[in-house]
Structure 1
């Protein structure tokens, strides 16, 4: 027990501080990628529902490819090919190449993957809204953007929350895949600590506990958000 506590101590030569640093990096990527995915998903859902045929076809290709290709393969493609594409565009513009940080690249990769799933979640939630509510907004003379902000988004939230909650939990776990491209998130630093000390069981169990802690805290926050979003709505059986 003393040896385990020594290895997990927050100060050197313990690795506890390193693990917490990796946890913070994982949460930064997960949160940033999740928000980017929501932005992409909102635009993607609107494009699929109200865009022209070309836009709808392009979005269909995007969501089909992302959902059909393993996420690890997508991460490798987006991480390396995306960085190379940015630098090639910079070269064409006569500008020097840029060194994209691992954090920014990780957020972009997770965001693109999350965006495809968010598109379908939000599209389904919008289709679940009773048509009369949107028609009433139009009858009152609301512009499409105003109707989206005041009617569509609030009305779709209860339908979208279960799917969006799952996507957040998936985002926190997908950050572990970034270890294959050398981003120092929780899984990579755990592997480094275990490889250095040979205490594989200790460090991977510690990482598992940290991931579980993220999930438990997230579930509490999700329940609070769902309770607020569903207030005043009639539940099955007539209870409010």
Structure 2
């Protein structure tokens, strides 16, 4: 194995059309008995931190995490058609994922703040899940802070795919938190200005490679090839 590629989901691979915010609101309403006063603050946070922020904002005691995760999973279940109707796979994503999946010696998975159940819902809505090695991925239930997810994915790649400890990791994401996770863990980063953060903001956060989107498959794969250990 020569490379571990970890893709963010929301605003990197797909646009969710506001469905994510509705999932958080629905989970909160189920747990608290009333809707939140405002939308969840996401911006690259893990689901653990997003839900904690909602409870703190409203002065509500935070339930145990397994209870919160179960509520999130129930709130996200069955939303594939809604995602297809309101959202979209972003330009070039299918081709980029297919190309990465086809590279010998690469593990291509996800590093996302979403819990695993909702990550699968979002990816399957656009038929992206067969192009990713999802058991190796790191998800929002695995850690509170995004940088800690890198070690989770690396360990799973070692255990499940026999990847050596020294194989490089590349994160592909659209927020400064994706950039920070790469910098803190010594990973490579390809930042994509397809979310709310501009190319300048991502570069200021420390990303040396910033793309407007993933539309140029050849360029994306060339960049990844440059990170691969030969």
TM exceeding 0.5? no
Q: Which has the larger radius of gyration?
A: 1
Report which of the two has the higher share of helix: 1
Report which of the two has the higher share of strand: 2
Give the structure-2-normalised TM-score: 0.27
Give the structure-1-normalised TM-score: 0.26
